[in-house]
Structure 1
Amino acid sequence: MLTAIIDYESGNLHSAEKAFQRMAREVDAGTVVVTGDADVVARADRVVLPGDGAFPACAAALRGHSGLFDALVEAVETRGRPFLGICVGMQLMASLGREYQDTPGLGWIAGEVIRITPTDTALKVPHMGWNDLVIDHGHPVFDGISSGDHAYFVHSYQVHVENAADRLAHVDYGGDVTAVIGRGTMLGMQFHPEKSQAAGLRMIANFLRWTP
């Protein structure tokens, strides 16, 4: 069993690598590698797409690395491998990003990435720090997780889904802010599970054991 964390130079992956490797050992989920090798991604049993920074830059970086974009599509769309997008990696699952300029996403979740606009002007953007999850729809990734468990966020944009069934969890930050999306074999987390202590590690373990 091989889990590939895609390295397309979109941020520091050290924390994610260590967290996924730790939980893979605990639940006997095989090997976790950080890789920019398209062949490794294409044959992986699970794929994780992290991302930090702006949507257009991450989208360009993913498409700009030789073969990586096609390998990701092959693994997820053609072979149906379980997929997890984290932070901007989740946002890239949407149809369109509106950050700075309109930029196409992967189109796996119908919707667009828009700026967070809290109704309370005292709330700052970016949304940074801990917030309580509100689970909208049950999913195996939430095994052992309840509404009220908290996760660590750092972001200014969120995925606004077209289909309510695709939003699996949200948080309240002067209004609903999408926290987890999913459809079929695909999941996305706006927060950083690798930095979300016990709840985040539990969700990583659940993803590594998930057999959609």
Structure 2
Amino acid sequence: MKTVIIKYNAGNVQSVMYALDRIGAGYLYTDDEQEIRSADKVIFPGVGEASTTMHYLRRTGLDQLIPSLKQPVLGTCIGMQLMCRFSEENNTECMGIFDVDVKRFPAATGMKVPHMGWNNIGHYNTKLADGLPDNAFVYFVHSFAAPVCEYTVATCEYIQPFSAMLQKDNFYAAQFHCEISGNAGQQVLENFLKI
């Protein structure tokens, strides 16, 4: 099986590589269109700022390539947000795979933004969650989130409910960092590679 991690100007990709190494999954880290198109699975991870990252994706054509893929694609953290229609982070038009807008967490007394740390997820309705315990704990670092919508297949609550995971056709996404979410994150990655 050929797994590709999409190479673009995002941070934290090394952690994804380590996570795949831990589960014995081979991968190729590339931005080459033919390599990406010929992959069995594609992972679109990262940490970053929406407008800068979308500018890079447009410049390289990845903004057109990613939505056209037919194999299973997993976006995590900023990868998930950029798969949505729009982000309030610097008013950014994104790729529109999921027709939902990413919004900044509202101010709330005693609650810090960014949402950073371990939180539990629930209401699973996806193969990505196979084998996860109820209310599994995973690791988040984000100030923006997709609201609960028709594509939501797992939820979390911080200040308000939001989408912890999204799914549409062959596109899967997780707001949390699978690669640093312990056993639960490893299970999600293993499940994705089995799809």
Same fold (TM over 0.5): yes
Q: 2:82 — aligned with what?
A: 92
How big is the alpha-carbon RMSD for the aligned residues of Structure 1 and Structure 2? 1.6
User: Of 133, 137, 145, which residue of structure 1 is paired with 2:121?
Assistant: 133
Q: Could you report, residue by residue, the CA deviation over 1:96-155 in whole angstroms, capped at 9, with x for unpaired residues?
A: 111122x2211111110110126x4101000000001112x4211111113311000000
Report the residue type matching 1:149 in the other structure: A
Report the residue type matching 1:171 in the other structure: C
- The Cα of 1:156 is off from its aligned counterpart by 0.1
User: Of 77, 97, 111, which residue of structure 2 is paired with 1:123?
Assistant: 111
Q: 1:63 — aligned with what?
A: 58
- The Cα of 1:39 is off from its aligned counterpart by 2.1
User: Of 83, 101, 110, which residue of structure 1 is paired with 2:73?
Assistant: 83
Secondary structure of the structure 2 residue equivalent to 1:96? strand
- The Cα of 1:94 is off from its aligned counterpart by 0.8
Q: Could you report, residue by residue, the CA deviation over 1:38-83 in whole angstroms, capped at 9, with x for unpaired residues?
A: 2211211111111212111111112222x43343234x2xxx2101
Q: Percent identical across equivalent pairs?
A: 34
Tell me whether 1:21 sits opposite 2:21 in the alignment: yes
- The Cα of 1:177 is off from its aligned counterpart by 2.2
The TM-score, its normalising length taken from structure 2, stands at 0.93
Q: 2:133 — aligned with what?
A: 146
Structure 1 segments unaligned to the other structure (5+ residues)? none
Secondary structure of the structure 2 residue equivalent to 1:205? helix
The TM-score, its normalising length taken from structure 1, stands at 0.86
Q: Could you report, residue by residue, the CA deviation over 1:165-201 in whole angstroms, capped at 9, with x for unpaired residues?
A: 3111111112212211111111110000000000000
How many residues align? The count is: 195
For 1:59 and 1:68, how far apart are their aligned partners in 2?
9
Structure 2 segments unaligned to the other structure (5+ residues)? none
Tell me whether 1:50 sits opposite 2:40 in the alignment: no
For 2:178 and 2:193, how far apart are their aligned partners in 1?
13
Tell me whether 1:110 sits opposite 2:95 in the alignment: no
User: Of 155, 158, 165, which residue of structure 2 is paired with 1:173?
Assistant: 158
For 1:140 and 1:49, how far apart are their aligned partners in 2?
18
